[in-house]
Structure 1
Amino acid sequence: MTHARDPLRARAALATGKAAGRLSQALGRGSGSMIGGRLALRVDPEVLRAVAGDRRTVVVTGTNGKSTVTALVAAALSPGGAVVSNSTGANMTDGIVTAMAADRESGLAAIECDEVYLGPVARGTRPKAVVVLNSSREYTRGVSLKSTLEHWRHTAATLPDDCVAIVNVDDPLVSWAFETAPRRIGVSGGLYWRDDALVCPACGTVQDFTDTSWSCPGCHRSRPEPDWTVVQDGDGWAVEHAGGRTRLHVTVPGRTGPVGGAFALAAADALGVDVDAAAERISAVADVDGRYAPYRVGEHQARLLMLKNPAGWAEAIDVAVSTGRPLVVALDPFGPKDTATMWEAPFHRLAGREVYVTGGRRADGLAILDAAGVTVREAPDLESAVTGHAPGEVVVACNYPAFRRISKQFRGSTH
């Protein structure tokens, strides 16, 4: 296989990284995926190219939804052979090196990539497809949206000719950033949060939006026609594309699941995998690192959503509104900016509904939802928040620390 041709420096780098990872595990400092990959890159900055080899890779990036769509892409590619993926969420270059080094035999790869690392990851993996979901501000790390878009636009221009950019044409920021790609495929991926895309990135003019489209009166850019579109199909979902219509069953609630499935089908098709077989494999994805799988709480089922910015909260609100399911908000302390971003989210859409708020930072959530006209109830713990609703399925919207705490607490209670 490819690794037999690894240069001496790459072999030394991988050996160093593997030893560091084992030491980290032995000391109880974590999985070792980050430190192992980081040291390997210090020994050989080109080690990602060595571990990527000649396998056919799909890289998934965007502000929100990367982990979910990467899991769907991995499933969609699987009819074409074994797939390696960084399923633990270590999505920077060091974590990707570790994931690929751990599996040198798989001929396919589905890689989640942090948006600001797309350039080096694309250079190292030489992907056949890059999936770009959305773009909005990322407060928790202080990442500049402007610099991210410029980084994407430069990276898009340097993608190899045999790589296709699979982009969300409903997001004008993504559309602009990947205009420079040699090949593009459009997916109608939705835009739950427009506030970051109000100004045209090309000319600075305020853009016009309708329910389904956008255009710029300044430079006359407009939404391209999508090649892959999610449509309702009876009581379910389907994806329309040049090959026809493919019915899609996903367990992720709301429109989030089928839209992610559309990106995954487009990626599978780009790599020559049969679309119907890909759709069948997608339907088996029930859990993404603790997200979405139903956690039993008494006579209730709790589905966790992990959110980190206004765009994510807007999507969770849309899930609650579109499905009619009760909503619980769980917040734990996570830096001064974390809950501040929630003030921008459209919680007014829940006005008149009863929402329970729990967690170590629930006072912030109570104030935010109360100001939006929501009937809020304080709950001392998740169980009382969930069981405060009628038996059935409940959507639990969590910030990052609350998600980690709750998913660990209920691990093993899925069914």
Structure 2
Amino acid sequence: MSELPLRAQLASVLGRSAASLSRATGRGDGSVIGGRVALKVEPDLLAKLAQGRRLALVSATNGKTTTTRLIAQALREFGDVATNEYGANMPTGHITALSDNKSAVNGVLEVDEKYLPQVLKATNPSFVVLMNLSRDQMDRASEINLLAKKWRTALAQTNTHVIANADDPLVAWAGLGAPNATWVSAGQRWKEDSWCCPECGGHLKRDVDPHWECPECGLSRPRATWAVDNDNDVLVAPDGQQIKLRMNLPGDANRANAAIAAATAAGYGMHPERTIERLREVTSVAGRYTSVVTMGVEVRLLLSKNPAGWLESFAVLDPPRVPVILAVNAQIPDGKDTSWLWDVDYTVLRDRRVFVMGERRTDLALRLETDEVPFEVADRVDEVLAKLKAERPDITKVDVIANYTAFQQIRTAYGRVQ
């Protein structure tokens, strides 16, 4: 990395000081306030901090925090990595991440979908990693077809190398705007937002998964050189080599995240076998998938923020004998609009004990009632556990699915488990 100009150095120091003060006073981890302070001093600080680095920007509706963590985990094979792997995915957080590790040549930044074009322009990254696009926080973000168009336009104006999921039509269409791309067959369980062609609006033909094509304009799925075989739990590399994944993060979604991470690490010169070895070391990400034991019961925390995310969480639930707690808020980070609850199929929960919590538990309860899913209302996780233990002293496990702020509240109650 080149030496920062004096003004940028001052901005960086003041930002780090503000972040440290925020942490010391218990107001947060300081990522956002540190970046805000630094930007007041030097508005072009992000671009200056990015110079001389090999950055990867990671963006998607779901899985970007996990994939950022996985890529960073792999790249630490080469030394320090500048990253915001625990969130803070807007420019203020990026500034803090890069300021905190000024000597790191390699960097991995999670980027909010809405901010990707802006951050792409400022940082001139080596790689842009795109995984999926689906409806999320519609009261805050653009409609996803507009997001895809903005991505495509921004990518066409750069020389960055895109690593993208070929199985998601919106992501693929956006990635096709880039001059260079590596395509990964990472799967797409949630298809309800991608039945129409992003190029012409025609109805996509999706007869044989994962292939898709538009009969109207000819847009079709790019040929993938990396792939996930979920049935056999393997990563298929470009040379045909099949590598057992055996991830310690559950589900098909995390196999997809691992494949994307492996393809990205390969761009930095890392062999996929070694990448997967390093990825297996990750057992949780900022509390996601963490299990904590309380009152003699293992409580597993799953974060789900939108219909696609809830579908993936349902797929990794333990057997029906394990109760599940669902928690939903509608604060600003969640999006105020809870109408997305009606896009989720809850009938898969009919054969298990279900509890509902959170500020918008009434909305959730009505949705469950419509799907004929019996439920009980609760205020806190420990209240549910006490009730279950009284009825079933032998109970050993409970799953929790919560959207963003509800998840953070539950995680905080357990000491912000990692």
The two structures have a TM-score, normalised by structure 1, of 0.89
CA deviation string 1:180-238 (max 9, x = no partner): 1111111122223222212211101122223433221211212223222111465xx21
In structure 2, the residue matched to 1:78 is: 76
**1:96 Cα deviation (Å)?**
0.4
Equivalence for 1:301: 298
Task: Tell me if the contact between 1:329 and 1:357 (Cα under 8 Å) persists in the aligned partners.
Answer: yes
Letter in 2 for 1:116: K
Question: For 1:225, what is the secondary structure of its paired residue?
Answer: coil
**Count of matched residue pairs:** 408
Are positions 1:265 and 2:269 aligned together?
no
1:392 to partner: Cα distance: 4.6
Identity of matched residues, %: 36
Displacement of 1:408: 0.9
**For the structure 1 residues 353 and 30, does the alpha-carbon distance in structure 2 shift closer, same or farther, using more than 3 Å as the test?**
closer
- Residues 243-300 of structure 1 show CA distances to partners (whole Å, capped at 9, x for unaligned) of 3111112222221221111111111111101222211111111121111111113443
Q: Which residue in the other structure is 2:57 paired with?
A: 59
Q: CA deviation at 1:113?
A: 0.7
Per the alignment, residue 407 of structure 1 pairs with 411
Q: Is the 8 A contact 1:157 1:181 kept in 2?
A: yes
* Contact kept? 1:79, 1:277, Cα under 8 Å: no
User: 2:302·2:313 contact (CA, 8 Å) conserved in 1?
Assistant: yes
Q: Which digits, 9 at most, give the CA deviation of each residue in 1:9-48, with x for residues without a partner?
A: 3223323433443454566543332222123234333212
Whether the 8 Å contact between 1:129 and 1:166 is mirrored in structure 2 is yes
Equivalent position of 2:237 in the other structure: 241
> Does 1:395 pair with 2:399?
yes
Inter-partner Cα distance in structure 1 for 2:352 and 2:25:
48
Task: Look up the SS of the partner of 1:255 in the other structure.
Answer: helix
- Inter-CA distance 407–24: structure 2 relative to 1 (3 Å threshold): closer
Provide the rounded CA distance (Å) in 1 between the counterparts of 2:251 and 2:398.
13
The CA deviation at 1:172 is 0.5
Aligned ranges for residues 12-411 of structure 1 at < 5 Å?
Answer: 12-25=10-23, 29-139=27-137, 142-144=140-142, 145-160=144-159, 163-210=160-207, 211-232=209-230, 237-243=233-239, 244-320=241-317, 326-334=323-331, 337-385=336-384, 388=388, 391-411=395-415
Q: 1:391 to 1:182 in 2, by over 3 A?
A: farther
Question: Which segment drifts farther, 299-308 or 167-176?
Answer: 299-308
- Which is further off, 129-138 or 31-40? 31-40
Q: Distance in 1 between the 2:153 and 2:14 partners?
A: 32
- 1:412 deviation in Å? 7.0
SS of 1:215's partner is: coil
Unaligned runs of 5+ in 1: none
> Quick one: which amino acid aligns to residue 401 of structure 1?
T
Rate the CA distance shift 1:179–1:83 in 2: closer, same or farther, 3 A: same
Looking at structure 1, the residues matched to 26 and 279 of structure 2 have their Cα atoms a distance apart, in angstroms, of 35
- Determine helix, strand or coil for the equivalent of 2:251: coil
Q: In 1, Cα distance between the equivalents of 2:319 and 2:255?
A: 14
Q: Which range is displaced more, 378-387 or 304-313?
A: 378-387
Q: Aligned-pair RMSD on alpha carbons? A: 2.6
In structure 2, what is the Cα distance between the partners aligned to 1:36 and 1:151? 28
Indicate if the aligned counterparts of 1:358 and 1:385 stay in contact, CA closer than 8 A.
no
8 Å Cα contact 1:207-1:216 kept in structure 2: yes
Q: Distance in 2 between matches of 1:195 and 1:202?
A: 17
**2:112 partner amino acid:** D
In terms of mean alpha carbon deviation, does 212-221 or 345-354 score higher? 345-354
Is 1:251–1:292's contact at 8 Å kept on the other side of the alignment? no
Distance 1:396 1:23, change over 3 A: closer
Return the alpha-carbon distance in structure 1 between the equivalents of residues 362 and 314 of structure 2: 19
* Cα distance in structure 2, aligned partners of 1:152 and 1:146: 10
Instruction: Note the C-alpha offset of 1:59.
Output: 1.2
CA distance in 2, matches of 1:212, 1:403: 32
Counterpart CA distance in 2 for 1:344 and 1:233 is 27
Q: Which amino acid aligns with 1:285?
A: V
Looking at structure 2, the residues matched to 55 and 209 of structure 1 have their Cα atoms a distance apart, in angstroms, of 40
